[in-house]
Structure 1
Amino acid sequence: MDTIPARLDHIVLATPDLAATVAEFTRRTGVVPAPGGAHVGHGTRNHLVGLGGRAYLEILGPDPEQPEPTGPRPFGVDGLDAPRTITWAISPQDLDATVAGARAQGYDPGDVRDMSRRRPDGTLLRWRLTDGGSPHPSGLVPFLIDWGTTPHPSASGLPVTPLREMTATAPDPDEIRPLLAALGTGLSLTEGPAAFSFTVDTPNGPITFT
């Protein structure tokens, strides 16, 4: 199958130390991720790199300029001791219809909620996404996102490292595939511990992240 999932919006690389991970990404690839902005109230901020087309990589970690959030930071950042590819997102043509269709097939992507972040230039970006509800423990089933009228991050002049492939392993790939199909996407899966791998083209040659 195609090693780039259908409707891929972005890949989330979470880290306990955002500055260190951005520096390491720059060292390995020769490409400097662009500051994305702060998730106000959630205690995180991000840097972004285009993956070609409308897809991008989000490097997300704690924001030292924000006070401690009242709840846990997104994507289990507080429990990480090293950078890790946590999950991914797809952007269906109709988010609400995709959620309803998946539920009809026995998979609940979770409720849809509003999110926002403020870019360094002060622009407030707003979008809708599925909150995951009770996400699949593997992290291999994507959440859904709808940018609405907000300009897509990939259109903001990001540095680009084109995505060559995105693959994963799972203890039981046949359990995951129907859930992906219910969302109208797929992922190249083989048997093994639950984990992601993606490879990008860079000035330093192809580089793989896990």
Structure 2
Amino acid sequence: MPPRCHLDHITVIAQTLDEGARFVHAALGVAPQTGGEHPRMGTHNLLLRLGDSAFLEVIAVNPLAPPPARPRWFALDSLDARSAPALATWVVRSSDIHATQAELPETLGEIEAMSRGALNWLITIPADGSLPLGGVAPTLIEWSTATHPAAGLRDHGLSLLGLELCHPEPERLANLLQPLELGNIVAVSGATSPRLLARIMTPDGLKTLSI
């Protein structure tokens, strides 16, 4: 039996952090705050608290950082001038990422050590930088900290109520997620193409975030 897992954060990809911040503000009425840099990936991010142990991340290529000698994560190398910001994928937290990955019917990538400032973690990253199942399959993460990073973010009164995962192969996706035991915060449905939709409660009512 793998360790119990939790929905940790949702990830918006964008060409620039400014574009990503405008996308989030237009959808939720709140702007994300500065996060930091990921030296190994040549990326940086913004963050928005969605509860005591959940957050939204906006991630983009850092134009001031040297490019990595490998594909960047979250399919960021695939973006071009026509790419609009989008809710691209989501991340599941485990207390033992190796045990959790071993229980899954499909691999989500190699387990690698990453950092941002004083934070360190283990995370699954496909070697080609792609998003498994078009982003509707999660990334796994194991934080190397006793306090969740969301606890240190400004609280705007937002909370993540649910995440809908749409995919042409819903049974395959449901089978992949079953060992994670995430409960009813995640729902799977059929669709002609991969798509995520997050339902977020804000001080101004229920809002949705998607592509």
Q: Which TM-score applies when normalising by structure 1?
A: 0.83
Identity value in percent: 32
Structure 1 counterpart of 2:37, one-letter code: A
Number of residues of Structure 1 aligned to a counterpart in Structure 2:
197
Give the superposition deviation at 1:165: 2.0
- State the partner residue of 2:121: 127
Measured in 2, the distance between the counterparts of 1:195 and 1:175 equals 15
**Equivalent residue for 2:107?**
108
Q: Structure 2: which amino acid aligns with 1:128?
A: L
In structure 2, the partner of 1:141 is 137
Letter in 2 for 1:72: P
* Mapping of residues 1-210 of structure 1, within 5 Å: 7-80=6-79, 81-102=83-104, 106-118=105-117, 124-132=118-126, 136-149=132-145, 151-160=147-156, 161-185=158-182, 187-192=186-191, 193-210=193-210
* TM-superposed deviation, 1:129: 1.2
Judging changes above 3 Å, is the alpha-carbon distance between structure 1 residues 97 and 60 closer, same or farther for their aligned structure 2 residues? same
- Contact between 2:41 and 2:73, CA under 8 Å: does it hold in 1? yes
Superposition deviation, residue 55 in structure 1: 1.0
Name the SS for the 1:75 alignment partner: coil
- Looking at structure 1, the residues matched to 98 and 40 of structure 2 have their Cα atoms a distance apart, in angstroms, of 26
Structure 2 CA distance, aligned partners of 1:150 and 1:16? 32
Cα offset for 1:153?
1.4
- Which SS does the other structure have where 1:201 is aligned? strand
Q: CA–CA distance in 2 between the matches of 1:136 and 1:29?
A: 26
Give ranges in structure 1 of 5+ residues lacking alignment: 1-5, 119-123
* C-alpha RMSD over aligned residues: 2.2
CA distance 1:73–1:101, shift in 2 (3 Å): closer
Distance (Å, rounded) in 1 between the aligned partners of 2:47 and 2:131: 24
Contact 1:42 1:73 in 2 (8 A): yes
Q: Distance in 1 between matches of 2:73 and 2:125?
A: 10
CA contact (8 A) 2:13 2:20 kept: no
TM-score (norm 2): 0.83
TM-superposition CA deviations, 1:50-76 (whole Å, max 9, x none): 111311111111222223333332211
CA distance in 1, matches of 2:29, 2:59: 19
Asked if 2 retains the 8 angstrom alpha-carbon contact of 1:48 and 1:158, the reply is no
After superposing on structure 2, the runs of 4+ consecutive aligned residues of structure 1 that deviate more than 6 Å are none
Gaps of 5+ in 2: none
